[in-house]
A and B are shown apart, each in its own frame.
Chain A
Amino acid sequence: MNFDDIKQGIVKLIRKAETELPSDVIKALKNANKIEEGVAKTQIEAILKNIDLAKNTKRPMCQDTGIQTFFVTVGINFPYISKLKDLITYAVKIATKEVPLRPNTVDPFTGENHKDNTGDNVPYITWDFTEGSDVHITALPKGGGSENMSKLGMLKPGVGLEGVKDFVVDEMIKAAGNPCPPTVVGVGIGGGADLAMKLGKKALLRPVGDRHKNKTIAAMEEELIKRINDSGIGPMGLGGKTTVLDVHIEKAHRHPASLPVGIAVQCWADRRANMIIHSDGSWEVK
């Protein structure tokens, strides 16, 4: 098995995520460019120019290359499961030099920057298991500016879904220009505190423009998009029609006494890339 080749594949995955935005996000930004005017339009135009430049020069589109975050679904018949964590970690170290990535991992006690984007519990990997022998990896490098606007609300169940919607809209208005709007907002409803936050983050994996298959949830997504965009915060908080490109909701059953709502915010640089590793070690980055 050529593990070096798989490592290079993961480096390619990281490079793609950092330098090329998914087509669904570009499409949404181009739509925003059509409806915005004045200062708001200057912002969307700069974003679109920046996306082109980053792709053509193979440079990270944003200097904040984020905390390296991966969602991995492992086919239980993949023969090298025990190697995956090390491969991802080493690939992050290589990518830091080669892409390059900004050294973004700081020890919270000593303040020391680890300089290779690894450290305690980082890269942050979420594991899931499935039938088959392929491994699916999604890279979701997560910037600090948008992550800082994350919110957890342990709401009283009595406020109901109206209370959930108000909470999300209020928090996004409070966040204003800080998370680099137009953003993509992931909302996790239900579960416990940690699960609500996790579902919010996982909701960001869905393509922009994709509606939840549950019609009630899809309707709530649409209502939230409208209400947040009606706030007028606009691109970079300078005023305009586009504050969010999308809102995605995921749910879990909750305790009768709890109504947790987790909000994960992603900046316009909604960076995502996917990779499949087959059991013979061959791989594709999409």
Chain B
Amino acid sequence: MEYHFKLPGSKDEIKKLHIGDVIYVTGKIFTARDEAHHMMLEKDKSSLPFDPSEMALFHCGPLMKKENNKWKVVSAGPTTSSRMEIFEDKFIEKFGINIIIGKGGMGKRTEKALQKYICVYTSYTGGAGALAADKVEEVPGVYWLEELGMPEAAWIFKVKEFGPLVVAIDSHGESIYRNLKK
């Protein structure tokens, strides 16, 4: 099935999704890789400069360029999600994430958290950075750029019809990656 979503998506909408479905999302997403995960988990949710629960989480370290004092996305495909396995379950619980966008898949701890907190892990084509950048309409903000550098900072993107995102691990305990290992 193919779905077109307004972010962040309700729990009911997330429950409808099953592995193999393809979705396109419109709204706000934020990037977080290893360092941003680490940093955000050490902070209080209320002290964050943005509300992660209103957005999809994008495993991405984008290539950005400043033009006329405004940030523009040059290339922004997903990074390898398995690096975030060590903290993703806590991250989903703490920040109320509904949709994760990454590549390569995640492990058992994340699978359980997706089920418990009603969230999906979706795969965006790795390396398709130019295509992804094309779907970003605006960059409303960036946080911790000085401390973490361009790839690791938390970037906020306003996206339109961002996809195709393949639902690879759903909220019903199913995983494309686990099925393939059998």
Contact = CB atoms under 8 A, between A and B. Distances in A.
A62 B77 contact: yes
Contacts, number: 147
Interface string B72-95: 001111011010000000000000
A50 B129 contact: yes
A267 B177 CA distance: 18
A64 B82 contact: no
Q: Chain A interface secondary structure, helix, strand, loop or mixed?
A: loop
A232 B129 contact: no
B22 interface: yes
A147 B144 CA distance: 27
Interface stretch (A192-200, A215-223, A236-244): A236-244
B170 to A, nearest CB: 13
Contact of A50 (B62, B103, B131): B131
B127 A47 contact: yes
A145 interface: yes
A65 B130 contact: no
Interface residues of A, number: 46
Contacts of A264: none
A39 B166 contact: yes
A101 B63 CA distance: 7
Given A50-B128, A103-B149, A59 B22 contact: no
Interface string B48-66: 0000000000001111010
A100 B74 contact: yes
A151 to B, nearest CB: 16
